[in-house]
């Protein structure tokens, strides 16, 4: 149901008109049906995605995670070959402003790049040199980027072998930048326009996160999106978004339902989108819109974020 929370979040913030521009690649029939019911253009190609898991990954790099990373290769390649610019995002991204205005602004000093990525925050050697996060990125369609994604499809086995979408993509970025002049921009990880999990989990960004959650009138006034990356599981992503005040899905559409209960028939007539965010405390040691001092820590012995 995460994709439906993103839809509700967008509607609550006045992005209703932009929802018609979204193309969702569903990896199972139930997700496709639910997204369609919510008014989103969704594609489910059984011959391509039939082997994809219905359950969320239990943790980073597990079997389900690896298969879903392959799905990210397929969907980008298909859109690229059709000749379109691409703004790709996972469903753990929320919008504060329309990010397309940043990419389409010809006076932007960073306009003249082929691809733009968030900094993952992890600067280990296996992510060098770009440390590109592949949960939110923008691609200008041209011969270089089409050739890039065609090559990436051809080396898709590296995604399975490494368990990662990022590692083989970053290695290919380096090759294409060197051999073909591919122009790649990775935003600095402290840049406030496109923050992510690195900012969420680092206490040095406490003032920024407080401003972001209170409406962004100070340090976060120029923020376009927030990506809940750097987070271990879907369960924690949802809890952290609830603490941030970025969860707009009514409890009546969530509580007590297992995967077998997700159906269009069960959701018909339900108003799943909340007018105001559903703020819930879970962990005292993580950023929260309201003080969560009485909640347990997620990290043993950690002090309150407030």
Domain ranges of the chain: 80-232
Per-residue confidence (pLDDT) for residue 257, from 0 to 100: 43
The 8-class DSSP code of residue 196 comes to B
User: pLDDT higher for 292 or 49?
Assistant: 292
Region 32-61: mean pLDDT is 75
Span between the terminal Cα atoms of the chain, in Å: 30
User: pLDDT higher for 172 or 259?
Assistant: 172
Region 11-29: mean pLDDT is 89
Region 223-250: mean pLDDT is 92
pLDDT mean across residues, the chain: 88
Question: CB atoms < 10 A from the CB of 45, how many?
Answer: 14
Q: Would you give the distance in Å from CA 98 to the centre of its chain?
A: 15
Residue-wise pLDDT for 112-145, tens only, equals 999 999 999 888 888 899 999 999 999 999 999 9
Per-residue confidence (pLDDT) for residue 280, from 0 to 100: 95
Per-residue confidence (pLDDT) for residue 219, from 0 to 100: 94
Question: CB atoms < 10 A from the CB of 102, how many?
Answer: 18
- Please check the confidence at residue 258 and state whether its pLDDT lies above 50: no
- CA–CA separation, 273 and 143 (whole Å): 41
Instruction: Report CA-CA distances (Å) from 296 to 58, 66, 113, 246.
Output: 22, 32, 45, 21
């Amino acid at each position: 149901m995460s994709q439906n929370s993103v839809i509700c979040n967008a509607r609550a913030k006045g992005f209703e008109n932009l929802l018609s521009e979204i193309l969702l690649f569903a990896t199972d029939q139930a997700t496709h049906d639910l997204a369609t019911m919510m008014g989103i253009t969704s594609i489910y190609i059984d011959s391509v995605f039939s082997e994809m898991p219905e359950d969320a990954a239990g943790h980073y790099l597990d079997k389900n995670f690896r298969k879903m990373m392959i799905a990210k290769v397929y969907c980008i390649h298909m859109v690229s070959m059709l000749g379109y610019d691409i703004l790709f995002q996972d469903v753990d991204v929320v919008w504060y402003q329309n990010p397309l205005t940043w990419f389409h602004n010809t006076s932007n000093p960073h306009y003249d790049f082929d691809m733009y990525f968030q900094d993952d925050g992890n600067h280990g050697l296996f992510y060098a040199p770009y440390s590109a996060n592949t949960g939110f990125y923008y691609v200008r369609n041209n011969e270089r980027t089409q050739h890039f994604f065609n090559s990436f499809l051809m080396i898709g086995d590296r995604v399975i072998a490494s368990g990662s979408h990022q590692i083989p993509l970053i290695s290919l970025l380096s090759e294409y930048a060197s051999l073909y002049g591919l122009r790649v921009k990775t935003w600095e990880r402290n840049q406030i326009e496109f923050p992510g999990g690195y900012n969420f989990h680092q206490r040095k960004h406490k003032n920024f996160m407080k401003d972001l959650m209170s409406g962004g009138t100070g340090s976060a006034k120029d923020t376009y999106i927030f990506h809940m990356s750097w987070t271990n599981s879907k369960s924690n992503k949802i809890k952290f978004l609830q603490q941030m005040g970025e969860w707009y899905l009514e409890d009546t559409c969530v509580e007590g339902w297992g995967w077998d209960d997700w159906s269009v028939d069960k959701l018909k007539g339900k108003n799943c989108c909340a007018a105001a965010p559903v703020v819930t405390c879970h962990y005292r040691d993580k950023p929260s819109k309201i003080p969560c001092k009485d909640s347990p820590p997620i990290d043993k012995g950690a002090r309150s974020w407030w």
